[in-house]
Amino acid sequence: MSASVKFSDVDLGTEIPGAIYPIDRLTLVKYAGASGDFNTIHWNERIATEVGLPNVIAHGMFTMATAVRVVTDWVGDPGAVVEYGVRFTRPVVVPNDDAGVVVEVSAKVTELLESNQVKIAITAKFEGQTVLGRAQAIVQLA
């Protein structure tokens, strides 16, 4: 698969369609199984609060992967992401209920680079507060 977005169709400031991603405890358990990260702070409320967290928190790498989905959905190819980095600034707290929480993600092109690449700034928010700082991806376009 190759990127479906053409470099010639993108301008500085192009906004990428945002998305809202639900996260519940079952999602965290599934991610733990897939990733092998069974740290108890991601599924056991007692342990999470004993170490000073407000409740169970989503895995940082899960939050990071969730945020970049707006970019991979937009470009049409996860392999088009040639670089991606974030700083974890705030955890996503996931209560033990059927509703869970949502992470709201938006993104926009902040730089046009050589070789049909663009730099994209990603914003991920939970309860109105940013959870990833300096979230940026470099994407290879067609």
* Domain assignment of residue 30, yes or no: no
What is the per-residue pLDDT for 98? 87
Q: How large is the average pLDDT for residues 95-112?
A: 96
Alpha-carbon dihedral angle through residues 68, 73, 74, 80, given to the nearest 10 degrees = 70
- CA gyration radius for the chain? 16
Amino acid at 95: P
Number of domains in the chain: 1
Residues 90, 92, 93: CA angle, nearest 5 degrees = 120
Residues linked to residue 103 through DSSP beta bridges, in sequence order: 21
Question: What value does the mean pLDDT of the chain take?
Answer: 96
Q: Could you report the per-residue pLDDT of 14-29, keeping only the tens digit for each?
A: 999 999 999 999 999 9
Mean pLDDT of 1-26: 93
Q: The domain containing residue 73 runs over which residues?
A: 7-22+64-140
Domain assignment of residue 84, yes or no: yes
The CATH number of the domain where 82 resides is what?
Answer: 3.10.129.10
Query: What is the tens place of the pLDDT at every residue in 53-85?
Result: 999 999 999 999 999 999 999 999 999 999 999
Of all residues in the chain, the percent with pLDDT exceeding 70 is 99
- Residue 42 domain-assigned (yes or no): no
